[in-house]
Amino acid sequence: MTDVTIVSEKLEQAGAVLADYDVDAWITFGRETSDIAEPVLPLLLGEDFVWPGMVLITQDDERIVLCETHDADTIRSVGLHEVFSYENSLERVFREVIESIDPDTIAINYSKSNNTADGLSLGLYRLLEEYVDGASVEATFESSEPIINRVRGTKSDTELKRIQCSVDISLEILETMRNAWRPDWSEADVAEFVHEEVESRGLSTAWHADVCPAVDAGSQAEWGHAKPSALRLPEGEVLHLDFGVVYEGYASDMQRLYYRPVDGNSTIPTGLQSAFEDVRAAIQAGFETLRPGIQGHEVDTAARETLTDRGWPEFQHGFGHQVGRNVHDGGTYLGPRWERYGDTPTKDVLEGQVFTLELGIETEWGYLGQEEMVVVRADGAEYLTAPQTSIELLEE
Amino acid sequence: MTDVTIVSEKLEQAGAVLADYDVDAWITFGRETSDIAEPVLPLLLGEDFVWPGMVLITQDDERIVLCETHDADTIRSVGLHEVFSYENSLERVFREVIESIDPDTIAINYSKSNNTADGLSLGLYRLLEEYVDGASVEATFESSEPIINRVRGTKSDTELKRIQCSVDISLEILETMRNAWRPDWSEADVAEFVHEEVESRGLSTAWHADVCPAVDAGSQAEWGHAKPSALRLPEGEVLHLDFGVVYEGYASDMQRLYYRPVDGNSTIPTGLQSAFEDVRAAIQAGFETLRPGIQGHEVDTAARETLTDRGWPEFQHGFGHQVGRNVHDGGTYLGPRWERYGDTPTKDVLEGQVFTLELGIETEWGYLGQEEMVVVRADGAEYLTAPQTSIELLEE
């Protein structure tokens, strides 16, 4: 079923964004996209192509689809695009359409550093080169990545509402878990409980269920990408969860911390409280820096230095990623300028983007990781839900 | 969980196949492959890459993985590959490995006509070009498609067993449907019943559940890609289903036909029986032609001409596609040499490939589509299950 609301809103944005670029045609080209996803199509089309097909948007805001006859039926019935279908030759219908546009520059769906803008396979690119060579146009290709980053990153009203629901539901599930928690639960038991809550709502986890939620039960937990184990949470230590769901196509990604009292004594140890506050302060420092126009790495630095200034080691990952249809939604990254992150930390933050803010430290009480979600407004960041400002208690 | 059995068998095949090609290194390069699938990785790795990563197989049958540290843990623990991991720079570790191999030719995962061999994005290809340019090697790229077609297409013992289970289960579900069928069932009711049978077995449909099963209730049904409707099957007409499941990662794809008696009279009308036999004869003609070494279009022609010789119009699709991890598993296609099929109908059939054989005609009793599944043996084709040789009855 085409998600008409989302596609309408994103096409609207696409036309407005394209006007800022010296690009005559923006092509998103895919094939068998239910097997090999083309990540822009859910925004601009809302359907899969079985046969090779393109969404083509022009500077005049024409929304054109070129696709095979069978693929065309649904797209035509939705009525958001002008559809040119082919039975045998995509090349022929492409030639007609592209010659009537006569573009000098064509933006295509590839990117070296951003997988959500890199849906064009090399095989289809080779075909596209042949198609353009065979047509009476003199056009050069460029990457549509900057356009995609803006269209994908700037969340529409409906997208924001769905992300908000996704955040609220994930915290509701975590609260249900906290109330149900029993001292004899292993990490795996916690994960199983959370999975049942996800399934009972007809939802799915935001990343692979083997490690969503990630569950770390105290200081002996193997923090990182390990699956929930048979480990139980000792008294006086901290349970850490990293978790999110997908709600109507949109993800959440949150971390929360819980303390198990010693002999019913619910006073948080001073050292733990202080470490927690250091983590909180680093998140808050990044939060206060985040605003439209800043580069991703500057936000990362603000958080990172707050933590190291307080005597903790640097975290070995970036401070925040975008969230949307994917839990890692590509584009601008609030990360350090390490080689592995390519150029994503030097891109500008834009109004309407949704980010995680996340970091953590390893302590004698367990891994203290915090992760919040925010949306970027004109004047700065706004939390999507109240951040965790104190460690919650588990009760027996 | 890595599917160790499958990956072991396919790596074994890969080494043997690569020996037939003048290729020094075969690289399969992917990134965030749980979002944008790389279709060769399930065969050669059995895990997803989050960060950019490669499987590299050499003429000496070395099985090398280059990937990010976090991605490396599971792969290393499975123990089927030699793993070189990086924290920051894939390029650096790639350079070391590729210089020690010093290849003249590198096969990479792209194809113009076969999506199951076209997992390399243009963005990653541009990165790979830079990596090779930066290394002290003089290597040219070529498509790994012929290698992939053989490794993917030639089913291992375990793959064949799973496909066989998938076929058996899909027919078992159809038989359950036939026994449960009621005259007041609409196409949508039939589909709903089938979906419940699939779910109760913990399986999924072989393609999008909206149109799997495809259900056509008699002569008024809209044949093609339409979703099951509110239409009920009239007496004296034919119910047609196109259906398959996925069992342990492997698909089936079958069509079956059922007749609704008129006033309890279960005699199939002569014209219907004769039309059914024409379809059956065309399937059988293709079946008898299919053997290793023949080209796909020759098999299509045998079936197509049998049908037109009997006075029916040509079917507007190919006669058979491969089935495996995907219901359309790529490579050699038993189809006509129409432009839309690219070069897939002129490729050779290989021993160990699994194909559908399918075609149909529109009649006054409804759409008479038949689809069987076969495996290619050294001396010809072998049905995976007894073909439908008579129209089954629906009983009220």
β B245-247/B204-205 pair status: antiparallel
* pLDDT band with cut points at 50, 70 and 90 for residue B330: confident
- Which of A35, A121, A339 is closest, CB to CB, to B89? A339
- The arithmetic mean of pLDDT across residues B206-212, rounded, is 93
Locate B283 and state its tokens.
Answer: 């399937």
CA distance A77 to chain B (A): 12
10 Å Cβ neighbour count for B335?
A: 22
Cβ-Cβ contacts under 8 Å, A89 against chain B:
339-340
* pLDDT band with cut points at 50, 70 and 90 for residue B1: confident
Please name the residue of chain B whose CA is at the shortest distance from the CA of residue A110.
Answer: B123
Cβ-Cβ contacts under 8 Å, B205 against chain A:
none
Are A36 and B34 a contacting pair at CB < 8 A? no
Angle between helices A157-180 and A4-18 (to 10 degrees): 130
Please name the residue of chain A whose CA is at the shortest distance from the CA of residue B112.
Answer: A123
- The arithmetic mean of pLDDT across residues A214-231, rounded, is 89
Residue A120 backbone class (left: φ over 0; alpha: ψ -120 to 50; beta: rest):
beta
Q: Which of B281 and B35 is assigned the larger pLDDT?
A: B281
- Which of B32, B90, B224 is closest, CB to CB, to A70? B224
- The arithmetic mean of pLDDT across residues A116-137, rounded, is 97
Best residue in B31, B36, B344 for a mutation probing chain A (most A CBs within 10 Å): B36
Read off the amino acid at residue B103: P
Q: For the residues of B7-55, what is the DSSP string, one character each?
A: HHHHHHHHHHHHTTSS-SEEEEEESSTTTS--TTHHHHTSS--SSSEEE
Residue A286: pLDDT above 70?
yes
- Tell me what percent of the residues of chain B surpass a pLDDT of 70: 99
Cβ-Cβ contacts under 8 Å, B120 against chain A:
121-122
Looking up tokens 């009855």 gives B393
Please name the residue of chain B whose CA is at the shortest distance from the CA of residue A121.
Answer: B121
Residue B389: pLDDT above 90?
yes
Backbone phi, psi, residue A351, to 5°: -60, 140
- The arithmetic mean of pLDDT across residues B30-44, rounded, is 94
Read off the amino acid at residue A140: T
Question: In the Cβ-directed half-sphere of A48, how many Cα atoms lie within 13 Å?
Answer: 11
- CA dihedral over B127, A293, A152, A326, signed as positive or negative: positive
Are B126 and A112 a contacting pair at CB < 8 A? yes
pLDDT digits (tens, 9 = 90+) for B312-324: 999 999 999 999 9
- Which of A87, A114, A123 is closest, CB to CB, to B111? A123
CA distance B321 to chain A (A): 14
Cβ-Cβ contacts under 8 Å, B127 against chain A:
112
Model pLDDT, residue B186: 98
CA distance A28 to chain B (A): 13
Q: How far apart are CA B391 and CA A242, in angstroms?
A: 55
Residue B225: pLDDT above 70?
no
Could you give the C-alpha distances from A26 to A114, A272, B74, B343, in angstroms and in order? 17, 53, 40, 28
Please name the residue of chain A whose CA is at the shortest distance from the CA of residue B108.
Answer: A122
Q: Tell me what ipTM this predicted complex has.
A: 0.89
Residue B42 contacts residue B50 (beta carbons within 8 Å):
no
- The arithmetic mean of pLDDT across residues B77-102, rounded, is 96
Locate A167 and state its tokens.
Answer: 């955040």
Are B88 and A124 a contacting pair at CB < 8 A? no
Domain assignments of chain A as residue spans, ordered by start: 4-151, 157-393
Angle between helices B187-200 and B157-180 (to 10 degrees): 130
Q: What average pLDDT does the structure give for chain A?
A: 96
Model pLDDT, residue A226: 77
Alpha helices (runs of H) in chain A, residue ranges in sequence order: 4-18, 41-44, 69-78, 90-101, 122-134, 145-153, 157-180, 187-200, 270-289, 296-309
Cβ-Cβ contacts under 8 Å, B143 against chain A:
123
Looking up tokens 């356009």 gives A147
- The arithmetic mean of pLDDT across residues A366-381, rounded, is 98
**What is the number of residues in chain B?**
396
Q: For the residues of A179-201, what is the DSSP string, one character each?
A: HH--TT-BHHHHHHHHHHHHHHT
Model pLDDT, residue B396: 79
Model pLDDT, residue B142: 98
* pLDDT band with cut points at 50, 70 and 90 for residue B150: very high
Best residue in B95, B115, B210, B339 for a mutation probing chain A (most A CBs within 10 Å): B115
* pLDDT band with cut points at 50, 70 and 90 for residue B88: confident
* pLDDT band with cut points at 50, 70 and 90 for residue A360: very high
- Which of A73, A125, A338 is closest, CB to CB, to B88? A338
Q: Which of A53 and B70 is assigned the larger pLDDT?
A: A53
Q: Coil, helix or strand for A152?
A: helix
Are B36 and A338 a contacting pair at CB < 8 A? no
Could you give the C-alpha distances from A248 to A285, A358, B68, in angstroms and in order? 32, 24, 31
- The arithmetic mean of pLDDT across residues A94-118, rounded, is 96
- Which of A73, A89, A125 is closest, CB to CB, to B122? A125
pLDDT digits (tens, 9 = 90+) for A313-333: 999 999 999 999 999 998 999
Are A120 and B119 a contacting pair at CB < 8 A? no
CATH topology of domain A157-393: Creatine Amidinohydrolase (3.90.230)
Are A111 and B127 a contacting pair at CB < 8 A? no
- The arithmetic mean of pLDDT across residues B123-146, rounded, is 97
Read off the amino acid at residue A173: I
Please name the residue of chain B whose CA is at the shortest distance from the CA of residue A325.
Answer: B35
Q: What average pLDDT does the structure give for chain B?
A: 96
Residue B35: pLDDT above 80?
yes
Burial of residue B371 (number of CB atoms within 10 Å: 0-12, 13-18, 19+): buried
CA distance A85 to chain B (A): 12
Q: What is the largest CA-CA distance in chain A?
A: 81
- Tell me what percent of the residues of chain A surpass a pLDDT of 70: 99
Cβ-Cβ contacts under 8 Å, A36 against chain B:
36-39, 115, 118-119
Residue A120 contacts residue A109 (beta carbons within 8 Å):
yes
Are B122 and A123 a contacting pair at CB < 8 A? no
Are A118 and B36 a contacting pair at CB < 8 A? yes
List, in order, residues 6 or more apart from A16 with CB less than 8 Å away: none
- The arithmetic mean of pLDDT across residues B87-94, rounded, is 94
List, in order, residues 6 or more apart from B60 with CB less than 8 Å away: none
Q: How far apart are CA A222 and CA A215, in angstroms?
A: 9
Please name the residue of chain B whose CA is at the shortest distance from the CA of residue A145.
Answer: B123
Backbone phi, psi, residue B318, to 5°: -80, 165
Locate B382 and state its tokens.
Answer: 């072998």
CA distance B224 to chain A (A): 8
Model pLDDT, residue A255: 98
Residue B135 contacts residue B94 (beta carbons within 8 Å):
yes
Model pLDDT, residue B70: 87
Cβ-Cβ contacts under 8 Å, B338 against chain A:
88
10 Å Cβ neighbour count for B100?
A: 10
- The arithmetic mean of pLDDT across residues B341-369, rounded, is 96
Model pLDDT, residue A25: 97
pLDDT digits (tens, 9 = 90+) for B229-247: 999 999 999 999 999 999 9
Residues B4-152, CATH architecture: 3-Layer(aba) Sandwich (3.40)
Residue A234: pLDDT above 70?
yes
Cβ-Cβ contacts under 8 Å, A90 against chain B:
340
Say if residue A213 is preceded by a cis peptide, omega within 30 of 0.
yes
The overall pTM is greater than 0.95? no
**CA B100 centroid distance within chain:** 37
| DSSP structural state of residue B353 | -
Q: Tell me the count of A-B CB pairs closer than 8 A.
A: 120
For the A4-151 domain, the top CATH level (class) is alpha beta
* pLDDT band with cut points at 50, 70 and 90 for residue B362: very high
Model pLDDT, residue A225: 61
Model pLDDT, residue A35: 86
Nearest to A177 by CA among A203, A195, A200: A195
